[in-house]
Structure 1
Amino acid sequence: MKRTLLTLSLTAILSSSFYSTPSIAALDAVQPQINYTEMTSQRQVVDQLLNDAYQVFKNPSRISHAGFTAKMPSNMEMITSNLLDAYKLEPYRVDLLFSAANAQIYNSNVDRAIELFTQILDVAPDDVDAHSYLVIWQNFKGNKSEVTKHLNALEQLNKGRVADLKKIMSTIDRIVDTPLSNTIKKPAKGNNAIITLGYALNPDGSMNDILIDRLNATLTMAKKNPNTYIVVTGGVPKNHKTEGKLMADWLVKNGIDKSRIIEDNYARSTVENALYSSYALARHDIDHATIISSASHVRRGQALFEVASWQTGPKGITFDTYAANDRPLEELKVPTGGELLGIYRDALRVYGMWSYRSYPLEQR
């Protein structure tokens, strides 16, 4: 009797006479023509593609030099391929396109990334992030008319985002136009800090010569400016040791009072250097900070710390840099395309735009 009543109830619910139903013409959304068994199988395929992409992303193989550490290009292509295969199965999942586009940015293929960000607008023409990425990367390519087009679209969607993007671009322009320097300057007025960025440790946990070069510059500056705080930041462990800890120990061994040193033993990238250490600057109400890194890296470091400080403060903090001599400064007078790409890419990450947004492949 209960089964009969349940059957009658379901029949009534599905019947057009039971409730008012919109016309078929009004339902313009694409409806999946697939049964639950097939959907489960499709879900498993998508999950496997994303998991495969994540495993490739975690591969420890890197290209590394003093100013830049990157995933292997072949790995980025595999990640992109997996994400786009998943998107074919789930055409509403534009997060997959965002992730694939940013994989191409990491692969230095900006043209391909622009194609994918534009494809997102075919699905969601008012997507603020897609327009934002296109502003930045069309600006990188020098396509001013395209920059204007997407800024105009954003003016109708999110005026605050327009102001932020213009600020990011003008900040990067200013930093890039400022000559590199390896001169130790007098401290600025107010509270000062030195920020020394880490560099990957050797496999045995010892410090690379590039990192020691940064520390020698830090030591000289710290002794000439004895009232400054010193932030040492780097947290990628090797042989159970981190850059931040080893840098702090080295400075103490060479005569710097431990009370001046602030350790960050967690940051795994320049992005995290800026995000984590900016709170130390805020806590100590720092007015001016000098960033020490390799000459090929300091411009990116300054850009990221400036963007991070917009959120954390202190209000009005200023930054400059000291370029350790990994290469002659004259050779680096004009940033390479790869350096500039890294600055723009990571500035967006610090600003809060996630590069990968497709679980389990998620990373700011």
Structure 2
Amino acid sequence: METKSRISLFYPRRTGYRVKNISQQDYLQNYNYQYSYPAVLNRLKKLDNRTSKLKFLDKAIKYNYWHKPAIFTANQKSGKPRSYDNEILINFYKLALKLAPRDKKYLTGLASVYRMDNQIANAAIIWQYLLNQNPKDYHSLLNIALYTQLNQREHAFEKSLHRLNKINPAETEQVKQLLNLIQHVPALKPNYAVDDLSLWDDSRHYIVILGAALTIHGNIKEKLRRRLAAGLKLARLQPKAKIIVSGGQVPQEPHTEASKMIEWLVEHGVKRQRILKEEKSRDTVQNAINSNLILQINDARKVTLVSSDNHIQRAYALFQSANYLQGIDYDLQNYAVHETGPQIQPAVHKIISDMLRVKGYWLLPDIQP
């Protein structure tokens, strides 16, 4: 009997990797065989030059970033929340920096993962190093100001803003406007009622339903079903409003989230021509950027954002940011889906990072815009 290679279950793609329909256990076995830390160390020993080793590390970093949710869903022994286990990414960046100690891409990437892991002090050491190499490195100075000085060292923050303004005054003005938006995020309350929103029945009103991860076999999970049900309720009350479904395809999903969302809405009575599809987004930042492009083209004047209550504040802030940066002028409301369990306030440093990505700054160079 012929044995099928585990590697054949994966095939490359321009922006990452896709996965065929396999079980979670098979998924984990293939991960352990190819891109786990021990597997990567073993592969590096077999590669005979620095360039090939760095190229493989780039692939391993990209794979672990995009596949992390599926990996930690399958591996229940990790003991960490699946979205916050950044140790392996940190280790891979350190391996890359042993091979290329001064490479800005890997230094910036490591600092970003440290920031994601809330290791701000370690991230700041790298940003300061990059700034010492180039005193006009706007991004490094901005990171130092926002993550180590904001709300803690007012004088140092104002001094950094002054330096940033000298380097690029137009860019700094936009950053200040984004910071003003952040200040209002904690005051935003999830809206669970549709009474006031029902007054928005208008042909230039758009109901934007944000996607959520599908199962590894491409089925809708309960979280996304609840968001769709909320959007459907709103759409029935507002027959003139159009609907945007926003959700692309992360590597472990066999379909785009938007395509499955359309199927669900049509099955529940929504006319297909009423729905606009945004299927390039892999996360909330891209949801905001790509959905706002559609809103801009269609001259939207009113927008209701539909998502889970533990997600709505961050999503709202990012849509506001995209609205401002892309020069669109619409009224924004939210309609929240109640999630079970305690509502978690979004971390300010996470919102800042995501707002900067809406602005166009990289999180992980060559991996995550």
User: Shorter-chain TM-score: which interval?
Assistant: 0.7 to 0.9
Alignment: residue pair count = 307
Superposed, 1:80-95 pairs within 5 Å as 80-88=93-101, 91=102, 93-95=103-105
Cα offsets for 1:183-210 (capped at 9, x unmatched): 2233449621111111110122110000
Q: How far 1:282 moved relative to its partner?
A: 0.8
CA distance in 1, matches of 2:148, 2:241: 40
Q: TM-score, normalising length from structure 1?
A: 0.77
1:309 aligned onto 2:326: no
Matched residue, 2:285: 271
User: What is the letter of the counterpart of residue 45 of structure 1?
Assistant: R
1:243 aligned onto 2:257: yes
Matched residue, 1:45: 50
SS of equivalent residue, structure 2 residue 192? coil
Alpha carbons of 1:336 and 1:169: their partners in 2 closer, same or farther (altered >3 Å)? same
SS of equivalent residue, structure 1 residue 241? coil
1:280 aligned onto 2:294: yes
CA distance in 2, matches of 1:203, 1:95: 31
User: What is the letter of the counterpart of residue 61 of structure 1?
Assistant: K
Matched residue, 1:61: 68
Q: How far 1:87 moved relative to its partner?
A: 4.3
User: What is the letter of the counterpart of residue 155 of structure 1?
Assistant: N
Q: How far 1:286 moved relative to its partner?
A: 0.6
Matched residue, 1:129: 139
CA distance in 1, matches of 2:138, 2:174: 12
Cα offsets for 1:95-121 (capped at 9, x unmatched): 332222112122222221122111111
Larger radius of gyration: 1
1:355 aligned onto 2:363: yes
Matched residue, 1:324: 337
Alpha carbons of 1:58 and 1:122: their partners in 2 closer, same or farther (altered >3 Å)? same
Matched residue, 2:225: 212
Alpha carbons of 1:327 and 1:79: their partners in 2 closer, same or farther (altered >3 Å)? same
SS of equivalent residue, structure 1 residue 280? helix
Further displaced range: 137-146 or 284-293 = 137-146
1:100 aligned onto 2:114: no
Q: TM-score, normalising length from structure 2?
A: 0.76
Q: Is the 8 A contact 2:217 2:254 kept in 1?
A: no
Matched residue, 2:119: 109
CA distance in 1, matches of 2:120, 2:150: 9
Alpha carbons of 1:291 and 1:55: their partners in 2 closer, same or farther (altered >3 Å)? same
Provide structure 1 residue ranges, at least 5 long, that are not aligned to the other structure.
1-42
Matched residue, 2:41: none
Matched residue, 1:341: 349
Runs of 4+ aligned residues of structure 1 deviating over 6 Å after TM superposition are none
User: What is the letter of the counterpart of residue 259 of structure 1?
Assistant: Q
Provide structure 2 residue ranges, at least 5 long, that are not aligned to the other structure.
1-47, 74-80
Identity of aligned residues (%): 22
Q: How far 1:265 moved relative to its partner?
A: 2.1
CA distance in 1, matches of 2:154, 2:100: 30
Matched residue, 2:183: 173
SS of equivalent residue, structure 1 residue 268? coil
Matched residue, 1:197: 210
Q: CA RMSD in A?
A: 2.5
Further displaced range: 293-302 or 132-141 = 132-141
Matched residue, 2:26: none
Q: How far 1:352 moved relative to its partner?
A: 0.2
CA distance in 2, matches of 1:75, 1:83: 12
Q: How far 1:135 moved relative to its partner?
A: 2.3
CA distance in 1, matches of 2:361, 2:227: 30
1:138 aligned onto 2:143: no
Further displaced range: 232-241 or 345-354 = 232-241
1:262 aligned onto 2:267: no
Matched residue, 1:39: none
Q: Is the 8 A contact 1:76 1:106 kept in 2?
A: no
Q: Is the 8 A contact 2:289 2:358 kept in 1?
A: yes
User: What is the letter of the counterpart of residue 158 of structure 2?
Assistant: T
Q: Is the 8 A contact 1:135 1:147 kept in 2?
A: yes
